[in-house]
């Protein structure tokens, strides 16, 4: 019997996968526990519509991310900090500060976790910071730290 899995089942298959299950296994275990539904025309149509919806949403998110990446690539973000002699910064500039400055100055909201800053910036100067917006889409932001 062909069934559509509604959840991941170890050793059987993943969610939304169509598998062949024995009649007894399907009727006595999968259906009562609501782990699967029969793969009839109605359920197959629902699965197809659901997959198309996911693909459309993913494509939309990817397009939005690439548009934001284009904007970010053109920006030089200036952050003014207190610094001592030798150009050393008191404290440092973190990914959180970069994300907040980008939001305040350019109205671009980015989660601080997406700012790929290997370590806190501790000196005055210009730095290139990678911002991971989406799978395969990375924007390069110029950050100018000045006293």
10-56 residue pLDDT tens: 999 999 999 999 999 999 999 999 999 999 999 999 999 999 999 99
Express each pLDDT in 96-138 by its tens digit.
Answer: 999 999 999 999 999 999 999 989 999 999 999 999 999 989 9
Supply the pTM of this predicted model: 0.71
Q: Which residues, including other chains, have CB under 8 Å from residue 59's CB and lie 6 or more apart? A: none
CA 126 to chain centre: 27
Q: Which domains does the chain have, with CATH numbers?
A: 2-62 (3.40.5.10), 64-146 (3.10.430.100)
pLDDT cut 70: percent of the chain above it = 100
Q: Does pLDDT of 66 surpass 90? A: yes
Q: What is the pLDDT confidence band of residue 84, given thresholds at 50, 70 and 90?
A: confident
């Amino acid at each position: 019997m062909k069934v559509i899995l509604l959840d991941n089942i170890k050793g059987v298959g993943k969610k939304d996968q169509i598998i062949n299950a024995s009649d007894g296994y399907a009727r006595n275990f999968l259906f009562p526990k609501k782990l699967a539904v029969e793969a009839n025309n109605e359920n197959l149509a629902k699965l197809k519509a659901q997959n198309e919806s996911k693909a459309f949403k993913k494509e939309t998110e990817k397009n939005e991310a690439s548009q934001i990446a284009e904007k970010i690539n053109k920006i030089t973000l200036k952050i003014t900090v207190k610094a001592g002699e030798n150009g050393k910064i008191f404290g440092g500039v973190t990914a959180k500060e970069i994300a907040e400055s980008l939001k305040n100055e350019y109205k671009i909201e980015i989660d601080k976790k997406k700012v790929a800053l290997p370590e806190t910036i501790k000196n005055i100067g210009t730095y290139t910071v990678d911002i991971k917006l989406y799978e395969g889409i990375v924007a390069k932001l110029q950050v100018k730290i000045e006293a």
